[in-house]
Amino acid sequence: MTTAVAASAREAGDPQLTPPRAGAKRRRWTPYLLLIPGLLWLTLFFIVPLVQLGSASLQSQWPGAPGYYYRDVNVGNYVEALRTYGVHFLRSLLYAGTATVLCFAVAFPLAYAMAFKAGRWRNVMLILVVAPFFTSFILRTIAWRQILADDGFVASTLRAVHLLPGGHITETWVAVVAGLTYNFLPFMVLPIYTSLERADPRLLEAGRDLYADRFTNLRTVTIPLAAPGILAGTLLTFIPAAGDYVNAELLGSDTSTKMVGNVINSQFFTVLGGYPTAAALSISLMILILVLVLGYVRRFGTEEVL
């Protein structure tokens, strides 16, 4: 067995990239040899940690010894965590959902212009979309705090026309949603652009030739063509946004805009004995997102996502 593996390991550096032909028995092993290192890594540092997190979410605390736990099946951790922090869950979903919708509204015209209107400026625009990424996202979020600050241009203008009832933008949910929208926007633009770029522009012309007005053309031709990109983009925006805590931490308030990510973070690091609660919240968040994603993909999905 070991010699067989060693012998075929020599082949691993020499992947045979033609489809396997009949009679080439040793080639059956090649795909597995290519997969083993990567999948081993994912198993060891993704699957096993999740299982361990699941078991930590069921641990109980030794009475009278905060911070020390023993193995248990304490489902009460989940009940307690969801009862106390259910509102943070809802808030995360609401903020992430709103940010995803806003991202789509902003990203679609940009992707459309890049794919069909930009001509030779297309690659320049592509670079411009990705470029802000390279300034650290924490720095950019802090820059938003400066832009939206009470004495900044945006807030003072809105105050001057009496459109800012509370007097602040920072420390409110508006700032958090704005930050989420900004930070994950490129994740929405790029997939939509990719599917529009692949689309045949003649289909759009055909729509126009058949006397479809602009809105009909958009609804019946352009958006269906972009559907795989929209699906991927909404997932790539919603998932990280729902688990984010940096925006809520830097742009939001200490009390009313905390998201579930903030709770998980603080239960892990600052609350003594918060470990099982944090683990239970993490597992619940993961399950919730998987259920939402599966439902969403099943409803709108294509094979292309996986």
Partner 1 sequence: MRRARSWVSDNIAMIIAVGVLVYLFLPVLYTFVFSFNNYRRSNITWNPEGSPTLKHWANPCGAPGVCPALVESIKIGALATLVATVLGALIAFALVRYSFRGRSSTNVLVFLPMATPEVVLGASLLTIFIQAFRMDLGFWTVVIAHIMFCISFVVVTVKARLQSLDPRLEEAASDLYANPRTTFMRITFPLALPGIVAAALLSFSLSFDDFIITNFVSGNETTFPKFVYVSYTRGIPAQANVIGFSMFVIAVLCVIAAQVIGSRRRGATA
- Please tell me the count of residues contacting partner 1 according to CB under 8 A: 91
Is 273 one of the binding residues for partner 1 (CB under 8 A)? no
User: 229, 261, 274, 301: which one contacts partner 1 (CB under 8 A)?
Assistant: 261
Contact 306, 228 (CB under 8 A): no
Surface-to-core class of residue 152, CB atoms within 10 Å of its CB (0-12 exposed, 13-18 middle, 19+ buried): middle
Is 211 one of the binding residues for partner 1 (CB under 8 A)? no
Q: CA-to-CA distance for 50 and 228, rounded, in angstroms? A: 29
Per-residue interface string for the shown chain with partner 1, residues 113-132, x marking contact by CB under 8 A = xx-xxx----x-x-xxxxxx
Contacts 24+ apart (CB under 8 A), 9-17: 9/33
Is 78 one of the binding residues for partner 1 (CB under 8 A)? no
Provide, rounded to whole angstroms, the least separation between the CB of residue 21 and partner 1: 10
Is 50 one of the binding residues for partner 1 (CB under 8 A)? yes
Contact 107, 185 (CB under 8 A): yes
User: 62, 65, 66, 146: which one contacts partner 1 (CB under 8 A)?
Assistant: 146
Is 32 one of the binding residues for partner 1 (CB under 8 A)? yes
Contact 203, 221 (CB under 8 A): yes
Is 37 one of the binding residues for partner 1 (CB under 8 A)? yes
Provide, rounded to whole angstroms, the least separation between the CB of residue 233 and partner 1: 13
* Residues of this chain, 221-260, that bind partner 1 according to CB under 8 A: 235-236, 239-240, 242-246, 250, 260
Is 22 one of the binding residues for partner 1 (CB under 8 A)? no
Is 155 one of the binding residues for partner 1 (CB under 8 A)? no
Q: How far is CA 107 from the centre of its chain?
A: 15
Is 14 one of the binding residues for partner 1 (CB under 8 A)? yes
Provide, rounded to whole angstroms, the least separation between the CB of residue 163 and partner 1: 19
Spell out the residues 6+ positions from residue 1 whose beta carbon is closer than 8 angstroms to its own.
none
Backbone angles phi, psi at 14, to 5 degrees: -130, 65
Backbone angles phi, psi at 133, to 5 degrees: -50, -35
User: 4, 5, 47, 75: which one contacts partner 1 (CB under 8 A)?
Assistant: 47
Residue 119 vs 165, nearer CB to partner 1: 119
Is 94 one of the binding residues for partner 1 (CB under 8 A)? no
Provide, rounded to whole angstroms, the least separation between the CB of residue 37 and partner 1: 5
How far lies 273's CA from each of 57, 83, 276, in Å? Answer: 12, 17, 8
Contact 235, 154 (CB under 8 A): no
User: 1, 6, 10, 17: which one contacts partner 1 (CB under 8 A)?
Assistant: 17
- Supply 303's token pair: 């094979």
